[in-house]
Amino acid sequence: MGWKDGIARTTYLTLRAEVVAARWIGMSMLSTSRSFGLYRRIFFEGRTAQEVLNTVRNEVVVDIGCGFTPYFSDSMFQTCEAEGIAFYGVDPVLAEGMRSPWYSRTVAHLAGSFGRYLQHPPGQERMLGVYADAIPLETACVDRILASMSLFIWVDDEEVLAGIFTEFARLLRVGGQVHIYPHPPWKHLSCKNPRLQQALDTFDIAQTFVITGNPVAAPPAYRTIFTKR
Ligand SMILES: C[S@@+](CC[C@H](N)C(=O)[O-])C[C@H]1O[C@@H](n2cnc3c(N)ncnc32)[C@H](O)[C@@H]1O
């Protein structure tokens, strides 16, 4: 095992242990709100804001498990919204809106976001309060799907993941990509569910190692890139 594999595996096992501990104390989910700065380092190799915006300018982008990011001025959602880019946030928590801004702001700060809280966020029509296996967008209309700290970390049931990857295969155009962070080496993620395996078989899979410089909010790990065949 190389050093990158070792670090990524440690990160993944630590985060999984945190999820198990959170569930044990009755916390089913923690909706964090990482900033565009962190998303740039997680998903775009730390390129500048302008470079990232130019990359996604003509794309349809969907952020799966976006948490309350659309409520913060420094999110990728709001940065794209200000530029007129078709960026969608998908998270069931958006259906109810933010019940406790104080709590969510504290959680956002812990995850490295210090943006302004927006009581009435622009782009509400692109804040989709749904689960990732039933997204109300047309078939083959999406170019890029991002998922930070959600799939395989908090969402770990293989039957649920099977439904989600089947939905991704429907939404993405050929050549479109799903980027998921954080992951251990792919070979260490076992998949026993035949439906999930069948859905994964529609993608080419590659990984890239990510170091963000913020080991608390975004520790070193792999980003897995699924490209639709
Ligand atoms: C830890 S937060 C990550 C928020 C944000 N992406 C970030 O990096 O800060 C995980 C989010 O995944 C969402 N989630 C859980 N299951 C989901 C599902 N089936 N479909 C879409 N989102 C889901 C939760 O509601 C939660 O807000």
Give the integer Cα–Cα distance in Å for 193 and 170.
19
Beta strands in 104-187 (DSSP E): 127-128, 142-148, 172-183
Give the pLDDT confidence score for residue 102 in this predicted structure: 83
What integer pLDDT is reported at residue 203 of this predicted model?
97
Q: Which of 74, 91, 161 to mutate to test the pocket of ligand 1 (most atoms within 8 A of CB)?
A: 91
Nearest CA to ligand 1 atom 2: 31
Q: What is the distance in angstroms between the CA of the first residue and the CA of the last residue of the chain?
A: 29
* CB proximity list for 74: less than 8 A, separation 6 or greater: 35, 36, 37, 113, 114, 115, 116
pTM: 0.96
Span from the CA of 2 to the centroid of ligand 1 (angstroms): 30
pLDDT on residue 27: 77
- Residue 84 belongs to what domain range? 3-228
Question: Ligand 1, residues 31, 35, 145: which to mutate, most atoms within 8 A of Cβ?
Answer: 31
Measured CA to CA in angstroms, residue 60 lies from 7, 43, 117, 161 at distances of 33, 16, 25, 22
What percent of the chain clears pLDDT 70, i.e. is strictly above it?
100
Give residue 92 CA to ligand 1 midpoint distance, Å.
8
List the CATH number of the domain containing 111. Answer: 3.40.50.150
Q: How many domains does the chain have?
A: 1
pLDDT digits (tens, 9 = 90+) for 25-45: 887 777 888 999 999 999 999
> For ligand 1, atom 12, which residue shows the shortest CA distance?
65
Q: Where are the beta strands (DSSP E) in 97-202?
A: 127-128, 142-148, 172-183
Question: In this model, does residue 77 exceed pLDDT 70?
Answer: yes
Q: Which amino acid is at 1?
A: M
Pocket of ligand 1 (CB under 6 A): 29-34, 64-67, 69, 90-93, 111, 131-132, 148-150, 154-155
Task: Name which residue sits closest to atom 6 of ligand 1, judged by CA.
Answer: 66
